[in-house]
Structure 1
């Protein structure tokens, strides 16, 4: 099965190898579709998705790959580009890979406390 698993590489971690082998049959039914590219993004980058050209105003047949995993390396990116050629449709072109590290909007509360008082000088009692 390993020799026919799309995008399989002996250098992958055990986790990635298992995910590729487990989804091989399903993956073959999706080849050439955005779902196949999403599956590869999730397998190599652990998290991510694609946006088609009409979703961001790009050129026809182009897409962008997004990931939110801050631990990806340049080797992961190169591997993704290598594998992408075998799973995407031939008419699709990758514009860029975007590492999205944005955080959701949140409310920030600030408080302060002021204390004012008088100084009292104590003197030693004499007997």
Structure 2
């Protein structure tokens, strides 16, 4: 049964389909049931984040207690923050939480603890690819706020290494020039072959002589 295109008459028994009143009721009520099936979807909010408008996503961010949320972000970034909020609350204060939050907003990010690069104890550094977002002062400030929201309280950010990738379109063209030289020498006949058609006729003549004598009466 397709609830989006429900047909009440098709749900009736064979006997009821013969009843004129049933036919009329099904035809009259069908549009209302179709509208009801569409309105039911409005109750599904969290599972339809990718379909919601920006105002609804902003309200969900408040409801889901998203730690870092900027109303100037794109609708795609807002949706990723809301959808991941529950997961990040479970791992908040870990390098994984910082990496995932930063990657969802700015781009591919990696966190290194002090002991991974021989730094000072309790410090860490971040590698962030902000090719898509850009390195404006506003975005760098947002990145700093995001990191502080998801890192643990005893760790301190030492440095953020920014990576930018230049994108462009390159065109390549190629051509092939080729030639061929053919020399035709005078034709010399080295062998003569004569071809023709020969018709041969044959005949066969057979002659038989038969003598019939007058039949005698008995």
Between structures 1 and 2, the one with greater strand share = 1
Larger radius of gyration: 2
The equivalent residue for 2:20 is none
Distance 1:68 1:79 in 2: 14
The equivalent residue for 2:72 is 11
The worse-fitting range, judged by mean Cα deviation, of 14-23 and 68-77 is: 68-77
Match of 1:69 among 98, 108, 130: 130
Distance 2:125 2:114 in 1: 8
Q: For the structure 1 residues 58 and 77, does the alpha-carbon distance in structure 2 shift closer, same or farther, using more than 3 Å as the test?
A: same
SS in 1 for 2:86: helix
Between structures 1 and 2, the one with greater helix share = 2
Per-residue Cα deviation, 1:38-85 (whole angstroms, up to 9, x for no partner): 012202211111111011111111111102333332211100111222
2:104 aligned with 1:43, yes or no?
yes
Q: Which has the higher contact order (CA 8 A, sep 6+)?
A: 1
Q: For the structure 1 residues 101 and 16, does the alpha-carbon distance in structure 2 shift closer, same or farther, using more than 3 Å as the test?
A: closer
Could you list the structure 1 runs, at least 4 aligned residues long, displaced by more than 6 angstroms after superposition: none
Q: Which runs of 5+ in 2 are unaligned?
A: 1-59, 166-218
The worse-fitting range, judged by mean Cα deviation, of 37-46 and 17-26 is: 37-46
The equivalent residue for 2:61 is 2
Aligned-pair CA distance for 1:25: 0.5
Per-residue Cα deviation, 1:68-121 (whole angstroms, up to 9, x for no partner): 33333221110011122221100010011102359xxxxxxxxxxxxxxxxxxx
Distance 2:136 2:108 in 1: 14
Distance 1:68 1:14 in 2: 20
Q: How many residues align?
A: 102
Match of 2:117 among 47, 56, 59: 56
Query: Could you state the TM-score of these two structures normalised by the residue count of structure 1?
Result: 0.73
Q: Which runs of 5+ in 1 are unaligned?
A: 103-127
SS in 1 for 2:160: strand
The equivalent residue for 1:25 is 86
